[in-house]
Amino acid sequence: MYAANPTDRTVAHFDSVLASLPNASTFDIWTKYDVKANYYFYFKGTYAMAKLYADSMRYVLKGHEKEFGVEYAHALMVNGTILMAENRFEEALQSYYDGSLFAQNNLDPCNSAQFNNQLGAELYHQRNYLRGVPYLKRAIDEESHCSGDIAASQVATLNTIALCFEKANMPDSAIYYYKKGLIYIDQKFPKGAFADIERGIVYGNLGGTYSAIKNYNLAQQYLKASIKINNRAGYAQEDAKTAQLKLANLYISYGHFKATDSLLHQIDAEWKAGKGKGFIDDTIQYRWKKLLWEYYDRIRDTQKAYGFAKNFYSFRDSLNETRKALENANIDEGLRETEQHYNIDLLSKSNQLKTTYLSATIVFSILILIILAMAWYNLTGSRKNVRELTGLNKVISDYNLQMQNALTALEQSYEENANIIKIVAHDLRAPIGGITIAVSKMLEKSNWSESDRSTLRLIQTSGKDSLTLVSDLLKTHSSSKEIKKEPVAMYSLLVYCVSFMRLKAEEKGQRIELDAGHFTVFVNRGKIWRVICNLIANAIKFSPPGTTIKVLMLKKEDKVVITVDDCGIGIPDNMHEKIFDMFTEAKRQGTTGEQPFGIGLAISKQIIEMHGGKIWFEGKPINGTMFHVELPIQYLN
């Protein structure tokens, strides 16, 4: 059994289980190294051991990087995170660059976002603010391609962009992105504690920016609003302390010493009472010491001012030594290389798009020439052929109008895309088939020259090819299209799913437990991984903090059944029939205000049915839900 909060005993048991596998796959071995790297980094704080396993994660995938693209990109991210913790900044940034380039060239845009976010954040910490903005903007664009809940990440990225502009003395741009973040919160987040926390953080940053441009009223308004929201248990108390210090500094700059003294005593009393004491980091200490020195200097208490100034400069020198290595890291070469590769990739995509447009233009030009040729041959024939051609041309014109209307509908409604394409493709069979039949009948006549007959055969062949294209279009949008399958060790896959979702569960104080046998099933690894992760994510979303989520797998005759069992809010009776519908209205917020989208279970059902399996759920007597996935076993150990 693998728990979400591993211990030495858990990891040892994990080792023994993998050692017992007769033919451990590359993915199995990589999963072991991933679990250990994260265990030693996050739970033991032993960076050297974590780095060894991070190196092993990349080594085991050597020569198979593209086959295991997501795993290789993840290994580079883990490696960069560990190097950053070891203050090996240039190596860490290089690892992020490598991951960014690999993801851009081999994976979907969603996988690149994490690297560009990390690069932008590190450039911010290096005080290279404006160099970080393009990476952060690129991350926002790439995250828009992600299928999961990205609202929290988007708000954080917008906030970091605004901070970059604020630190670069570009307050107008900073205010624009802070307010853009507030608009995004109002649009994407349901009402609740999490939305309030995010709103309070942005208020505090806005207050600091207005203070910098000497707008006293707006600065005070936003800072007080931020403090009111986050200066309480369970909220972002560390951010509230920053807002309090900004407000005190605002009072000092305007000579409001009575208000400053009252606020400083309030902060000091809260810390002595233990409120927010655990959130005092280097940045807060730096601002606190500087504020005390400036306050006593302004009220002309020379003795205290001198003591606090001495304390401040000593702390600042110590802090600068820590930051120096990151700020002096030579990153220019890596930045230039990343930009060059990115621009080359953009040019390549642009060329591909132009080629597609050119090919489409050529195809339509050929079709126009064919129609004109038919018109010429028919016009030189009898009036009957002219009437037939006129009627045929009208049919084609009518269907062209229908196609234009269909294209307009496609632009207006993504939800109806597949159905409209099916209808249009199906209806195109009739006019194209009519053209082919008409030409076939014309070929039956013997009064054509060899040149004319060749032209008619060309039209006939083009019509048959067009019918083939329509059939392919219908197949493309068929839900039963073939998927690539392979023998997959399901226990290892479940271990990876649990490991992947562990940190998300820990954010809500939850545990994930796995109890499963060892079976090999012939499935598409990536799609089944997506289904299981989606079910675990739903369990986390709809379960209250502090609960346990169980993932079980057992054999039932010639099938395996995977169960995700939670202690959540359950599913009301009126939603039972709609829960697996695409774009269903049966959507609810999570227990801490998480945003629902309503398509995850519908996609999961499609994937499972493609594998010849089924998915269903059961309500529990008290509370909670059990989701079951049944897959046929075609290959056994």
**Which CATH number goes with the domain that contains 597?**
3.30.565.10
pLDDT at 615: 92
Q: Please calculate the CA angle 539-142-504 and round it to the nearest 5 degrees.
A: 25
Looking at the fold, whether 547 and 567 belong to one and the same domain comes out as: yes
Q: Give one word for 420, left, alpha or beta, with left for phi > 0 and alpha for psi -120 to 50.
A: alpha
Asked whether residue 414 is assigned to any structural domain, the reply reads yes
Asked whether residue 270 is assigned to any structural domain, the reply reads no
Looking at the fold, whether 546 and 581 belong to one and the same domain comes out as: yes
Interhelix angle 26-38/8-19, nearest 10 degrees: 170
Looking at the fold, whether 370 and 465 belong to one and the same domain comes out as: yes
Report which residue type is found at 112: S
Listed residues 476, 499, 519: the one ending a domain: 476
Decide if 560 contacts 522 (C-beta within 8 A).
no
Structural domain for 592, as ranges: 486-632
Could you give the CA distance from residue 238 to residue 229 in angstroms, rounded to a whole number?
Answer: 12
Asked whether residue 125 is assigned to any structural domain, the reply reads no
Looking at the fold, whether 466 and 516 belong to one and the same domain comes out as: no
CA within 13 Å, CB half, 476: 12
Looking at the fold, whether 420 and 505 belong to one and the same domain comes out as: no
User: Total structural domains in the chain?
Assistant: 3
Can you read off the two tokens belonging to residue 148?
Answer: 């999961």
Looking at the fold, whether 515 and 581 belong to one and the same domain comes out as: yes
Looking at the fold, whether 552 and 465 belong to one and the same domain comes out as: no
DSSP string, 147-182: SS--HHHHHHHHHHHHHHHHHTT-HHHHHHHHHHHH
Three-state SS letters, 236-250: CHHHHHHHHHHHHHH
Listed residues 441, 476, 511: the one ending a domain: 476
CA distances from 373 to 203, 446, 579 (A): 69, 19, 55
Nearest to 250 by CA among 221, 282, 286, 225: 221
Residues recorded for the chain: 637
CA distances from 285 to 243, 280, 403 (A): 13, 6, 66
- pTM for the complete prediction? 0.47
CA distances from 509 to 3, 195, 196, 596, 620 (A): 13, 19, 20, 20, 22
Q: Please calculate the CA angle 285-286-292 and round it to the nearest 5 degrees.
A: 85
Looking at the fold, whether 512 and 428 belong to one and the same domain comes out as: no
Listed residues 423, 443, 476: the one ending a domain: 476
Looking at the fold, whether 582 and 460 belong to one and the same domain comes out as: no
Asked whether residue 52 is assigned to any structural domain, the reply reads yes
Q: Which residues of the chain have pLDDT under 70?
A: 1-10, 13-14, 147-149, 274-282, 315, 317-361, 363-365, 367-369, 372-430, 454-455, 457-458, 460-482, 582-599, 621, 634-637
Can you read off the two tokens belonging to residue 620?
Answer: 């529990």
Asked whether residue 573 is assigned to any structural domain, the reply reads yes
Looking at the fold, whether 416 and 527 belong to one and the same domain comes out as: no
SS3 (DSSP) at 316: helix
Looking at the fold, whether 39 and 58 belong to one and the same domain comes out as: yes
Compute and round to an integer the Cα radius of gyration of the chain. 32
Residue recorded with tokens 């890596």: 334
Looking at the fold, whether 492 and 627 belong to one and the same domain comes out as: yes
Decide if 441 contacts 456 (C-beta within 8 A).
no
SS3 (DSSP) at 519: coil
pLDDT at 421: 58
CB neighbours of residue 27 within 10 Å: 20
Could you give the CA distance from residue 78 to residue 74 in angstroms, rounded to a whole number?
Answer: 6
Could you give the CA distance from residue 501 to residue 513 in angstroms, rounded to a whole number?
Answer: 11
Asked whether residue 619 is assigned to any structural domain, the reply reads yes
Asked whether residue 284 is assigned to any structural domain, the reply reads no
Alpha helices in 255-331 (DSSP H): 257-272, 282-298, 302-327
Asked whether residue 425 is assigned to any structural domain, the reply reads yes
Residue recorded with tokens 């001012």: 305
